[in-house]
Amino acid sequence: MLGRLLKPIFPRGLYGRAALILLVPVVSILTLVAILFIQRHYERVTQQMTSNFAIVAEHLRAQVDAAPDPESAEAVLGELGAALRLETSRADRLPATAFDSIAAHDILSRLVLQELSRRLSGIAAQGFVGSNVVVWLEGVHGFYGLRFSPGRVAARNPHQLLVVVLIAGLMMSVVAFLFLKNQVRPILRLARAAEAFGRGQSLPYRPTGATEVRAAGQAFIEMRQRIENHIEQRTLLLSGVSHDLRTPLTRMRLALTMMEDEPEAQALLADVREMEGLIDRFLDFARGEMAEAAVPTDLRALAAARVHEARRAGQDITLRDGPDLPPIRLRPDLMARALDNLIGNAARYGTRAEIDVLQEPGQQVLTVEDDGPGIAPDDRAAALRPFVRLDPARNAVRGAGVGLGLAIAADAVRLHGGRLELGQGTRPGLGGLAVRVVLPA
């Protein structure tokens, strides 16, 4: 429960947490020193010095009280005060003295007055006047005033120790933070390399830092190499298979073209064309992760170009008007294939569709909404997996497909560091499947 309450307060970045790890012990040590040393050590020293002063004051009052008359008492008080380095005075009546108020943080001054009251009897008035302590004692010959520095009864300037400890703590914190920064930097470099690889970029990376960080970096390099080799082998395999399949398909197409008079020729020719389309889809899926340089691209202009091509092919799809948007870094060919698949998916299961491109905080969102039956919420996660077809729920009469359209688009969006979301449309006249492509700006 406490962890959930404190979680929003704690920093989320590695540097912030490292600084917190350094500062919390330093602040704790300074607080402990302030409590134990100042309140314990200085308190005991003050009590001892106040007790000694009380003995001196009691002796002074006893000597003054032993004088035969007030004039002699005042003379004795002056002589003893000079010997004890005290400012003294005598009065027949207690003078009205305006004592200064004590600040709330001045613990030692309160302790001095408290100890004087406890250890010295016959105090008529006491307090601080300026930087001195003033005590009025009641005696046989009137009231005796004692004025002295607080250093006589208390260990002053405890802040000097705090200043020394604070400066030393800050210096050690800076040194520790610089050392920790050198340890954190390799972790951040590894995180940037891993994030870039997740977007399809292979940044130069060399393991540095502590032994554990080097081991993690070397494991990442080996993993990246294995993934790149796997992608390359998959692409080469599918390319080779497609090349081997296109040769017999081409012969079959030529043979069927020469057999136009046969009743089954046109049906077989349609099957050959469908097989060639499936091969193209496989290649598109395999090429999705191939390296392509990301360049600043106008997402709305890219969508307008794909809409124009779709309308030339007879598909009823429009791009909603909107303001000009700043370019974002995209792989144009990869994103174009993703848009083509989304447009083709909308045209397959609906009669018309609309595309909208909007700017949101930190991201740009492209939405494709059709007037088809949509996808049930329970089936949306499965619809993004390759080779999964939801034809019974998606109007299989319009054509089956191979189940790669949304998978190709989702992979392309993920390689750009974005995400593809499926939902239910809400626009008037549409209300089918709504596909949101969220890309970081």
pLDDT digits (tens, 9 = 90+) for 266-320: 777 777 777 777 777 666 655 555 556 778 888 888 888 888 888 888 888 888 8
- Residue 286 is predicted with a pLDDT of 59
Q: Looking at the whole model, is its pTM more than 0.75?
A: no
Type of residue numbered 277: G
What does the CA dihedral 390, 394, 396, 400 come to, rounded to 10 degrees? -50
Kind of pairing, strands 328-330 and 295-297?
A: antiparallel
Distance set, CA 1 to CA 4, 5, 8, 21, 285 (Å)? 5, 6, 13, 22, 47
328-342 in b/e form (b: 16+ CB < 10 A) is bbbbeebbbbbbbbb
Helices (H) and strands (E) in the chain, counts: 12, 11
* C-alpha dihedral sign at 345, 349, 355, 361: negative
Contacts of 103 (CB under 8 A, 6+ apart): 109
The predicted model gives 354-358 an average pLDDT of: 89
**Can you give the pLDDT at residue 383?**
75
* CA separation for the pair 323, 405 (Å, rounded): 29
For the stretch 150-185, pLDDT in tens is 878 876 655 666 677 778 778 877 887 788 778 788
Domains observed in the chain: 2-156 (no CATH), 292-440 (3.30.565.10)
* Lowest-confidence region among 106-115, 254-263, 317-326, 394-403: 394-403
| Mean pLDDT of the residues in the chain | 79
Strands 363-370 and 328-330, by their bridges, are unpaired
What is the side-by-side strand order in the sheet with 142-148? 87-91, 142-148, 132-139, 123-129
Please tell me the distance from the alpha carbon of residue 125 to that of residue 55, in angstroms, as a whole number.
18
